[in-house]
Amino acid sequence: MVTDKEREDYSTERKEIFKKRKEFGDKLVKDFPELFIYKDDLRKSLMQYGAECQPGWFPMIYELTKKVSDIAKRDKTETQVVQIKEKFGGLRYYINSGTYDILKLVGKYEDKSYKICEVCGKPGKIDESKHWLRTLCAKHTKERIR
Ligand SMILES: [Zn+2]
């Protein structure tokens, strides 16, 4: 049974997460404008919603984005990140185009996300106990209410 208190905490927590997502998304756009300003119009990209996952993955996403930016500069290729989100417990990092090295790197980080708790960033694994698949550490699997 989920209590009213738990429901209320969940709602407050969601609001906090949305705020953090937006802040993190804004930081990515600020630090790597060439990857996110979609032909000078951010509205054409889905990054207006920020990174659509929980903060545990932010460091990994930032690291990936830095590497994508470096390779794109090195290879003189125009790559743009269209959307970053969680799906079926794993990271999805959508780009509109990229060299083989960039695609390989993105694939490597998407695989890596299945071993990192999306909530706190500690080692985790996929949790199938509830309706949604999520990658979580032992603590967050236990505390999970939905
Ligand atoms: Zn965790």
Q: Where are the domains of the chain?
A: 4-113
Do the beta carbons of residue 133 and residue 88 sit within 8 Å?
yes
Residue 93 has pLDDT above 90, yes or no: yes
Predicted confidence at residue 45, as pLDDT, reads 62
Give the distance (Å) from ligand 1 centre to CA of residue 117: 5
Give the distance (Å) from ligand 1 centre to CA of residue 132: 16
Give the distance (Å) from ligand 1 centre to CA of residue 27: 23
What span, in angstroms and rounded, lies between the C-alpha atoms of 130 and 120?
19
What span, in angstroms and rounded, lies between the C-alpha atoms of 131 and 146?
7
122, 124, 135: which is closest to 91 by C-alpha?
135
Confidence (pTM): 0.87
Cβ neighbourhood burial of 104 (10 Å; 0-12, 13-18, 19+): exposed
Where residue 87 falls among pLDDT bands split at 50, 70, 90? very high
Of 6-20, 73-87, 110-124, the poorest mean pLDDT is in 6-20
Q: Which residues pair with 86 in a beta bridge?
A: 91
